[in-house]
Amino acid sequence: MKCNTAVRELAASEVAKGYKPSHVHRNLRGITCETNCQVLEAAGGFNLALKDVHNAGKSWLATHKDIRLQGAKDPWLLQRDAAVEALSSRGWRVADLDTIRKSDS
């Protein structure tokens, strides 16, 4: 049976927050809180499986890509300068540390 769309979206939103699919499944199925299981069954998610939670999270993450995970588009010097500026503006004391690896010289 197909799982309810609202239940899948709920599971996907929890995975998107950074929770593991196994924890989301355990919490929704009522293993840690029995009232969750009753609400889940009333919503039509009585057959929610761990694989459903995993797939819902993967499909959500595929359509909502995190720009932090796509790689840097700026050279590392510009990234460093931006990070130093951002931290300095928040009151952090920041110092530049430059290192050279043997392969860089």
The reply to whether 46 and 59 lie within a common domain is: yes
pLDDT score of 89: 92
The reply to whether 52 and 10 lie within a common domain is: yes
Which residues, including other chains, have CB under 8 Å from residue 15's CB and lie 6 or more apart? Answer: 21, 24, 53, 54, 56, 57, 60, 61
- Look at phi and psi of residue 17 and say left if phi exceeds 0, alpha if psi is from -120 to 50, else beta: alpha
Q: What are 85's two structure tokens?
A: 């500026």
pTM: 0.53
The reply to whether 41 and 91 lie within a common domain is: no
| Residue (of 36, 51, 52, 37) closest to 4 by Cα position | 52
Residue 41 lies inside a defined structural domain of this protein: yes
The reply to whether 35 and 77 lie within a common domain is: no
Tens of pLDDT along 34-73? Answer: 777 777 777 777 777 888 888 888 888 788 776 555 566 7
Q: Give the residue, 61 or 1, on which the prediction is more confident.
A: 61
> Is pLDDT of 17 > 70?
yes
Residue 23 lies inside a defined structural domain of this protein: yes
pLDDT score of 35: 77
pLDDT score of 79: 81
Q: Which domain holds residue 89?
A: 67-96
Lowest mean pLDDT: which of 1-5, 11-15, 38-42, 97-101? 97-101
pLDDT score of 60: 80
Residue 11 lies inside a defined structural domain of this protein: yes
The reply to whether 20 and 53 lie within a common domain is: yes
Residue 103 lies inside a defined structural domain of this protein: no
The reply to whether 31 and 13 lie within a common domain is: yes
The reply to whether 21 and 71 lie within a common domain is: no
Residue 29 lies inside a defined structural domain of this protein: yes
